Amino acid sequence: MSNSNDKMATAALGTGGPEVGVQGLGCMGMSSAYGPTTDQGEARAVLERALELGVTLYDTADFYGFGENEKFIAPFVRAHRDEVVLATKFALWADPENPQVRTIRNDRPYIRQAVEASLQRLGVDEIDLYYMHRRDVNVPIEETVGAMAELVAEGKVKHLGLSEVTAGELRAAQAVHPIAAVQSEWSLFSRDIETHVVPAARELGVALVPYSPLGRGFLTGSFVRADSELSSDDFRRTMPRFTGDNAEVNAALLEPVREIAQQRGASLGQVALAWLQQQAQVHGLTVVPIPGTRRRSRLEENAGATRITLTADELTALEPIAGKVAGGRYADMSFTSAGRE
């Protein structure tokens, strides 16, 4: 009999990769993107509680809060260095004065400078999983992964990951150095990667780390119209799915999620996360979603999804949702892998 304090199951993060809890923790929202973190103490408590529940993969990036998110989690990571699998990323940056104008760098000098800055902010000697956050198409992927592999050889990084890459880019990268994980958006609302990236990852023994597995909170039913319900600096106000008529159309798509949740006495978010977790069996690869939250009650709820197994009928009822979603994942899709496959 399992109870809410039991540690969740674990899985290997790619061939030869570290063993991690089957659900990780996204830390981005603690320092950026989704409005101010009014209760920093509660966010810190989330980091501690996650570990008790068996969450071991903690996800950050140098870009989140322009280094602030790495600094925020640093004391926790140092206090639990042997238990935590620390993932961070390089490549994406912006001028803090003008954050809408973003740059992507994948060249060797940039990577070497970025890793040193991350190590310093995190206060660790080694990063467990270092991702290329976004792809700079001006630099061959082999060159980028070659520079990342140097960091492994030098003991600054243990494992390599890629975010928002195509299947072709993943194959080219894997030919240079083993890739433990691909991190890309994957949820009931965003299933594009199932066509090429997921089959390539399965074939190569690479794990999938779905980001925004709760559709940035929309799949929990906690908001409908970002433009009127969320704070003025919330990034979701720029996202076509969560604004105007699209938001109303997309909220109606949650009906089957709500029905399943009601029948099971679960939350909408738990159904969304359970669906994603089950894609591991559907596609035959390791899947470690990294839902983000700043509240322990939500963390516990999300972790509870790892104990839910949806029936074949429930999976069928959820199947048509993604195909009906109105609006793109981002306002500017040029910063994603879309259109490069």
Name the residues annotated as catalytic: 64
Chain residue whose CB lies nearest ligand NAP = 26
Residue 302 CB, shortest distance to ligand NAP, in Å, is 5
Q: CB neighbours of 196 closer than 8 A, spacing ≥ 6?
A: 166, 167, 341
User: Whole-angstrom distance between the N-terminal and C-terminal Cα of the chain?
Assistant: 45
Q: Which is nearer to ligand NAP, 27 or 148 (CB)?
A: 27
**Residue located via tokens 């993943």:** 170
Task: Tell me which of 32, 212, 279, 337 binds ligand NAP, using CB under 6 A.
Answer: 212
What is the distance between the alpha carbons of residues 280 and 323, in angstroms, rounded to a whole number?
20
Footprint of ligand NAP on residues 8-37 (CB under 6 A)?
26-29, 34
Q: Which is nearer to ligand NAP, 178 or 292 (CB)?
A: 292
Q: Which is nearer to ligand NAP, 38 or 153 (CB)?
A: 38
Footprint of ligand NAP on residues 137-196 (CB under 6 A)?
163-164, 183
Q: Which is nearer to ligand NAP, 70 or 301 (CB)?
A: 301
Please report, for residues 125, 165, 280, the alpha-carbon distance to residue 55 in angstroms, rounded to integers and kept in the order given.
Answer: 22, 25, 17
Does position 293 interact with ligand NAP (CB under 6 A)? The reply is yes
Sheet holding 127-132, edge to edge: 25-26, 57-59, 85-90, 127-132, 157-163, 181-185, 207-211
Does position 295 interact with ligand NAP (CB under 6 A)? The reply is yes
SS3 annotation, 259-288: HHHHHHCCCHHHHHHHHHHHHHHHHCCCEC
Footprint of ligand NAP on residues 254-273 (CB under 6 A)?
269
Does position 237 interact with ligand NAP (CB under 6 A)? The reply is no
Interacting residues with ligand NAP (CB under 6 A)? 26-29, 34, 59, 133, 163-164, 183, 211-217, 220, 222, 269, 290-295, 298, 301-302
